[in-house]
Amino acid sequence: MVLVLVIGDMHMPYRKAALPQKFKKLLVPGKIQHILCTGNLCLRETHDYLKNIASDVHIVRGDFDTNTSYPEQKVVTVGQFKIGLIHGHQVVPWGDHDAIATIRRQLDVDVMISGHTHKLEAYEKDGKFYINLVQ
């Protein structure tokens, strides 16, 4: 079984001092194979922490990230799925399903993951899957 952690908009330490302890207990190094992050890690230490959990970590740049080496968008293949990853601040208006669908088509992916709105959504549209993360 392949485990994928999808996470983002952590804003540590600016909005949260740390991950909740109950959640942190689940993050055992070597248990999760892939981490997909929609950005806003804010600190290098958060990036390093994620790399300690899984060796395959993919991060896109959020509007609070100072690390300019993170790309604005990324396509990752996990098993048979092509997954598109964006933070979401570049979607106008924020969280707009049609605008996100346009980006998904440009990236030509099966699953589109975004964040920024801090509103959890998971839905299917035109046979493709969309996930909007919540903090």
Q: Is 62 left (phi over 0), alpha (psi -120 to 50) or beta?
A: beta
Reported confidence tier of residue 17, pLDDT bands at 50, 70, 90: confident
Residue 119 has pLDDT above 80, yes or no: yes
Instruction: Measure the CA–CA gap between 66 and 35, rounded to whole angstroms.
Output: 20
Mean pLDDT of 5-20: 82
Tokens 């709105």, residue? 117
Q: Does the structure show a pLDDT above 70 at 125?
A: yes
* Whole-structure pTM value: 0.91
Could you report the per-residue pLDDT of 57-101, keeping only the tens digit for each? 999 999 998 888 999 999 999 999 999 999 999 998 989 999 999
